[in-house]
Every structure is written in structure tokens, then in C-alpha cells.
């Protein structure tokens, strides 16, 4: 007998039911009002937002808001078409040129989201008979892009160049194109890829390299260009992918490269050809945010001051944090009950952080994931740390 179409979701339904029974608040968080880059109203109470990826706090920047409003008034609320149809406006072209200039690259393609950027690039650059080597902790959009293209996908151990080389060595006799995929800052634990070591292997074995700088753009490097800049290997990175939904405070994505053939992706990539282009308001605010990243390095310095302060406090309190300071600070728990109690306790003390469950997390752990912003005041950072301290003391 044929099973019903929703029967495949029974396991998921059971997990959802258990969450509803024991952790109902986690599934029903609504931001009722957003008052600033760092504060919102949840359950009628103002809370400090410490889980938004709004690294430079630009969602409420006046220049970005004004640029967005002017674009709506001039060009309307949306494009109603793909880039290949009526969806390429002058702002899209200008942003591509500005991103190329900022990143020191010859070519840039702008996409509707960062997710679509990874789908488009990874499903188009490589295909059947070719190989993608990706870090095991890469984002879901990277995995999904790999699936779409039909290339052979091989994972290597997270941030493990020795494991990467072992796999490159085995593939050497295949005489095919190999694309290595890593991230600048990994979104769950906030750790960096060992990019200099990976570049050395890429050159040794003649592979191509793509770096997803989604969480590192505007955050790392003297000019905010990301991990490739910080590691001084920009010339050896073939493709840089990123998003507008983190440091740039909007929505959208891009891929930049010095390969002149990058423009061919526009004609070959289904996610590019068949997706409506970004709204003029998002493009305009992103352009304004990019100028701020280029001109106001003090925001990056403030972000890192805030990140180091909270990391140090949590480390001193004995929390299981990552190996190094980062704007993403994740605390590991072995079970959801313990993590939920802490998450809910923080919310009761007007602090919102992300609780992340498997399979989205490394090694099946449950994470409480904080992300800091340049817009957090020193007082807010101390309040976040103090809430963690109170809960730590009450649990002992």
C-alpha cells in the first residue's frame, strides 16, 4: 500500500511534538518590535539581541535606511523579474562594480540571496566527472549547491589540512577538475579556516578554491575583505562568495573572481536565470553599507572589542566556548534540556541568543550561539555577560 505524502515526516513530527511539550517557548519566538540593531520586544518585554549576525549594526544605520527609502520611491518595491529578463537595474550593475573594486577582483555577480549564490556557483562551476572537496562543517547552502551540480562530493575533516591533502593525493591520478570549498568564519563555532595551509595544498595539487566569506566579510582583514585578506592569500583564492545579510545588513549574495569566464555563469546557472532579482531597496542599502565598511574601520574595531570582552568573561566563568575569540561565540551542551534551561533563563533576563540543534551543529552537540555587534554598547555586553554569570552561579 502506498504511504501518504506526509508519512516521511513522522520522525520530524515526533521531534517537533517533544519540543512543543518541553521547550515550547523556543519554537514560538516572535520579534514583536525591532527598536534598534541590538534591541527588540519579545513577549512584550525589551530584550538585548545577541544572536542576529548583525556584526556592524548597519540595519539601523541612517545612510542605509535613507538609501533604501529613496530607492523604493524611485524604482518601486521589487523588480518582478530575473536578472536575465527585466530584473537588472542600474543599481545591480553599480553594486557589482563596487564589490569588484572593494575586493580587488575583475568580475562580480550579484544574486538574490547568499543561499542562491552558493546554489548558483556550486551547481554550475563543476559537474559530472569533476570533484568538490568541502570542509565537513560547511553551510547547508554549500551542500545543496553541490547536490544540484552532479559533481562527486567528498568531505574532509573540519579545518584539517592533513585530511584534505590525503584526499587530494588520492585524486591526483584522476586528471579532473577539483574545487575545494571552505568558509572564512564558520557560522556555528566562529572558527576560521586554516586558509594559508589550504592555499598551499590547492597550489600543490592544481585545484581551484572557493572561500565563502559570509560571516567574515566586514569582520576580518585590515580593510574588511575577509579571511583571504587577513591570511594574505587573496591572489590564490579563485572565487569569493558572500552574503549581504550579515555585516552589510540587507539581503542578497555575490560571487567575485578574477577568472574572466565568471560571466558565463549568468547564462548557465538556473538559480540565477530563474530567480527574481533583489529589490532596489536592498541593493541601495547594501551599496551604502559597503561604503561604510570601506570608510569606518572603527566599527570593526568595536566589534572585536565586544567579542573579546564577552569571550573572556564566558571563558573565565567556565563555559565550553570555542578555541579563540570571535564575533560568534558558541557554548556547547550535551543535551537539549540543559541548553534550553540556560536559553530560557537568559531570555527571562532579557537576553536573546540562538539555540541551535542537531543536525545543524557539529558533532551532534546543542549550541547556545551568541553573535556580537559593533552596535552593542559596552554596558550591553556586560549585561549579557552578567546574565550568563548569574545563571552559572545558580546552577551550581
Q: What is the CATH number of the domain that holds 307?
A: 3.90.1150.10
CA nearest to 237, candidates 200, 187, 185, 266: 200
Q: What is the pTM of this model?
A: 0.94
Quote the distance between the C-alpha of residue 384 and its chain's center: 23
70 and 213 both lie in a single domain: yes
Of the three residues 231, 262, 295, the one that is the final residue of a domain is 295
Q: How confident is the model at residue 71 (pLDDT cuts 50, 70, 90)?
A: very high
- Whether the upstream peptide bond of residue 359 has omega within 30° of 0, thus cis, is yes
Given 141, 187, 256, 285, which residue is catalytic? 187
Separation between Cα atoms, residue 323 and residue 216, nearest integer Å: 17
Separation between Cα atoms, residue 67 and residue 49, nearest integer Å: 25
H or E element: which one contains 62? helix 62-75
CA nearest to 39, candidates 60, 25, 56: 60
187 is catalytic: yes
Whether 7 maps to a domain, the answer reads no
Given 246, 269, 277, 285, which residue is catalytic? 246
CB atoms within 10 A of CB 189: 24
The CATH number linked to 209 is: 3.40.640.10
Given 23, 107, 215, 376, which residue is catalytic? 215
The predicted structure's pLDDT at residue 42:
95
Strand, coil or helix: 213: coil
Range from 102-111, 161-170, 229-238, 357-366 carrying the lowest mean pLDDT: 357-366
- Sign of the torsion angle spanned by Cα atoms 316, 317, 320, 322: negative
Whether 192 maps to a domain, the answer reads yes
281 and 312 both lie in a single domain: no
Our count of domains for the chain comes to: 2
What's the whole-number mean pLDDT along residues 45-59?
Answer: 97
285 is catalytic: no
376 is catalytic: no
pLDDT at 396 over 60: no
The predicted structure's pLDDT at residue 26:
73
Give DSSP secondary structure letters for 13-50: HHHHHHHHHH-GGGGG----EE-SSSEEEETTEEEEE-
Amino acid at each position: 500500500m502506498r504511504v501518504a505524502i506526509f508519512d516521511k515526516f513522522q520522525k520530524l513530527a515526533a521531534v517537533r511534538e517533544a519540543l512543543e511539550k518541553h521547550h515550547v517557548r523556543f519554537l514560538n519566538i516572535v520579534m514583536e518590535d525591532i527598536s534598534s540593531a541590538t534591541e527588540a520586544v519579545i513577549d512584550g518585554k525589551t530584550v538585548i539581541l545577541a544572536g542576529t549576525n548583525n556584526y556592524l549594526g548597519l540595519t539601523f544605520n541612517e545612510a542605509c535606511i535613507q538609501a533604501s527609502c529613496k530607492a523604493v520611491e524611485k524604482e518601486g518595491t521589487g523588480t518582478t523579474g530575473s536578472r536575465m529578463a527585466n530584473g537588472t537595474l542600474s543599481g545591480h550593475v553599480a553594486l557589482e562594480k563596487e564589490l569588484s573594486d572593494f575586493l580587488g577582483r575583475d568580475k562580480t555577480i550579484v544574486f538574490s540571496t547568499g543561499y542562491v549564490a552558493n546554489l548558483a556557483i556550486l551547481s554550475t562551476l563543476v559537474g559530472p566527472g569533476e570533484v568538490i572537496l568541502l570542509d565537513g562543517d560547511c553551510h547547508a547552502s554549500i551542500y545543496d549547491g553541490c547536490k544540484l551540480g552532479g559533481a562527486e562530493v567528498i568531505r574532509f575533516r573540519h579545518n584539517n589540512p592533513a585530511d584534505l591533502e590525503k584526499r587530494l593525493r588520492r585524486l591526483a591520478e584522476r586528471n579532473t577538475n577539483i574545487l575545494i570549498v571552505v568558509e572564512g568564519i564558520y557560522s556555528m563555532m566562529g572558527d576560521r579556516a586554516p586558509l594559508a595551509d589550504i592555499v598551499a595544498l590547492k597550489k600543490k595539487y592544481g585545484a581551484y578554491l572557493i572561500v565563502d566569506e559570509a560571516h567574515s566579510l566586514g569582520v576580518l582583514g585590515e580593510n574588511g575583505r575577509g579571511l583571504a585578506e587577513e591570511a594574505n592569500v587573496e591572489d590564490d583564492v579563485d572565487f569569493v562568495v558572500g552574503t549581504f545579510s550579515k555585516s552589510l545588513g540587507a539581503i542578497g549574495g555575490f560571487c567575485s573572481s578574477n577568472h574572466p569566464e565568471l560571466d558565463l555563469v549568468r547564462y548557465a546557472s538556473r538559480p540565477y536565470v530563474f530567480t527574481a532579482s533583489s529589490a532596489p531597496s536592498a541593493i541601495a542599502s547594501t551599496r551604502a553599507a559597503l561604503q561604510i565598511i570601506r570608510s569606518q574601520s572603527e566599527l570593526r574595531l568595536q566589534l572585536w572589542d565586544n567579542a573579546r570582552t564577552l569571550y573572556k568573561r564566558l571563558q573565565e566563568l567556565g563555559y565550553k566556548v570555542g578555541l579563540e575569540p570571535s564575533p560568534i561565540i558558541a557554548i556547547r551542551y550535551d543535551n537539549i534540556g540543559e541548553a534550553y534551561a540556560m536559553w530560557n533563563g537568559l531570555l527571562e533576563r532579557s537576553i536573546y541568543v540562538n539555540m541551535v540543534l542537531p543536525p545543524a551543529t557539529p558533532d551532534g552537540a546543542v549550541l547556545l550561539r551568541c553573535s556580537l555587534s559593533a552596535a552593542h554598547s559596552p554596558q550591553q555586553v556586560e549585561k549579557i555577560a552578567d546574565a550568563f554569570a548569574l545563571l552559572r552561579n545558580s546552577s551550581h
